[in-house]
Copies of this chain bind each other. A is one copy, B any other.
Amino acid sequence: MSAHTLSQPQIAPFFPPRRTLMGPGPSDVYPSVLAAGAKPTLGHLDPLFVGMMDEVKILLQYAFQTQNEMTLAVSAPGSAGMEACFVNLVEPGEKVIVCRNGVFGERMRQNVERVGAVAVLVDNEWGTAVDVAAVEAALKANPDAKFLAFVHAETSTGARSDAKTLCALAKQYGCLSIVDAVTSLGGIELRVDEWGIDAIYSGSQKCLSCVPGLSPLSFSPAAVEKIKARKTPVQSWFLDQTLVMGYWSNSQGAKRSYHHTAPVNALYALHEALRLLADEGLEAAWVRHAAMHAELRDGLEKLGIEFVVAAADRLPQLNAVHIPAGVDDAAVRARLLNEYNLEIGAGLGALAGKAWRIGLMGYAARRENIALLLKALGDVLGK
């Protein structure tokens, strides 16, 4: 039967170099997290594996600072976590106030429209925080709005928004809050229960310093009620969290039922990354990110490099800086990558070609990385 078989490609094993990852993510992965992901695969219904999943849930609840029962990791990247929030919570025709101050606010709008709902946009300039007054005005002007959606830490610009105040406003005006915490979880203060966040998602590959591919997610009891009251089915089978919870839930010792095959090895890695975060302590991790940011900022300013975001709104873990006049963006990044095995991020969207994004996320937020970056960037810029 070989006469009509397409020929075998000859491809060598792939050996990536060890880069220092200081872009917008993936960030440097903890060595023990990489090792955890290579441990022997178990079946997704193996009692030892589901016991580990119970621990992942406890660790996620700690990282999110929540007691939400519906807390789990979506078996796909952060974009799927975002979509899981919108497809589960929002029904066709409902109104969602979407704050847009970067790429990911715009992506939220697209998600809202793809579920057949209506997005009311609150636009803020790229590189600024979401304007609380403008949000309140939108909430007042749209008493029929059911949701307020915003990005806590805009990965495209490095701006931090006031999640606590925004969620309180949402509650005051009878809206559920949907919060993008892809870049914030583990890097800056975030308290799901205390702030009254209703739906939140993150990514494994930012301040958790895990491999990319999973999206931690948590829904409040009010969000779960909203899902239970749906009149229409969730349009996605894969992301239908009511079905997914049949597998993740361990309440009342109920038997886990098969929904989809869990990404077993990626979950080993997430377990280890969350365990390291709990060992360090969440607040200690927040303090470390802030301290490393201050060190990086001082060094960049000595090189004459300026930040995109005003000091009060800066994310410590994602530093967007203006590319100095006359400097070749791509050439500098290529030299850092090729000569120093150091990755920094390009600008995205409105900041493409205008900014670099320097990440200090999770395991990447340490002194030796900052020293390398400052010396290498200074050398490449001839400073």
A13 in contact with B40 (CB, 8 Å): no
CA distance A262 to B49 in the complex (A): 25
Name the residue in A14, A59, A107, A113 with the highest tally of chain B Cβ atoms < 10 Å from its Cβ.
A14
CA distance A25 to B233 in the complex (A): 29
Question: Which chain B residues lie closer than 8 Å to A266 at the CB level?
Answer: 211, 213, 263, 265-266
In angstroms, how far is the closest chain B Cβ from the Cβ of A40?
4
A281 to chain B: closest residue by CB: B8
A113 to chain B: closest residue by CB: B233
Is A110 an interface position by the 8 A CB rule? yes
Question: Which chain B residues lie closer than 8 Å to A8 at the CB level?
Answer: 62, 278-279, 281-282
In angstroms, how far is the closest chain B Cβ from the Cβ of A340?
13
Question: Which chain B residues lie closer than 8 Å to A275 at the CB level?
Answer: 11-13
A12 to chain B: closest residue by CB: B275
A23 in contact with B43 (CB, 8 Å): yes
Chain A interface SS verdict (over half): loop
Chain A 61-86 interface mask (CB, 8 Å, partner B; 1/0) = 11001110000000111111011000
Which residue in B39, B114, B343 is a CB contact (below 8 Å) of A236?
Answer: B114
In angstroms, how far is the closest chain B Cβ from the Cβ of A144?
23
Is A310 an interface position by the 8 A CB rule? no
In angstroms, how far is the closest chain B Cβ from the Cβ of A318?
14
B283 in contact with A343 (CB, 8 Å): no
Partner-binding segment picked from A26-34, A126-134, A289-297, A321-329: A26-34
CA distance A114 to B26 in the complex (A): 33
Chain A 102-142 interface mask (CB, 8 Å, partner B; 1/0) = 00000100110111000000000000000000000000000
Name the residue in A2, A19, A38 with the highest tally of chain B Cβ atoms < 10 Å from its Cβ.
A38
Question: Which chain B residues lie closer than 8 Å to A213 at the CB level?
Answer: 75, 213, 261, 263-266
CA distance A4 to B278 in the complex (A): 16
Question: Which chain B residues lie closer than 8 Å to A332 at the CB level?
Answer: none
Interface residues on A, range: 35 or more
Name the interface residues of A1-23: CB closer than 8 Å to any CB of B: 1-2, 4-19, 21, 23
With A26-B44, A36-B14 already in contact, the answer to whether A5 and B282 are too (CB < 8 A) is: yes
A15 to chain B: closest residue by CB: B39
A79 to chain B: closest residue by CB: B260
Question: Which chain B residues lie closer than 8 Å to A37 at the CB level?
Answer: 37-38, 211, 265
A9 in contact with B59 (CB, 8 Å): yes
Which residue in B5, B263, B283 is a CB contact (below 8 Å) of A65?
Answer: B5
Question: Which chain B residues lie closer than 8 Å to A52 at the CB level?
Answer: 14, 16
CA distance A133 to B62 in the complex (A): 57
With A8-B281, A76-B80, A263-B266 already in contact, the answer to whether A212 and B19 are too (CB < 8 A) is: no
Name the interface residues of A253-281: CB closer than 8 Å to any CB of B: 258-266, 268-269, 271-272, 275, 278-279, 281
Q: List 22 A-B contacts (CB under 8 A).
A: A1-B283, A2-B283, A4-B191, A9-B58, A9-B278, A12-B275, A13-B32, A13-B36, A13-B275, A19-B43, A21-B41, A26-B42, A28-B41, A34-B39, A34-B40, A37-B37, A37-B38, A44-B212, A80-B238, A83-B238, A211-B263, A213-B261
The 9 closest A-B pairs by CB, nearest first: A213-B263, A38-B38, A76-B76, A79-B260, A211-B265, A18-B40, A34-B38, A80-B238, A212-B261
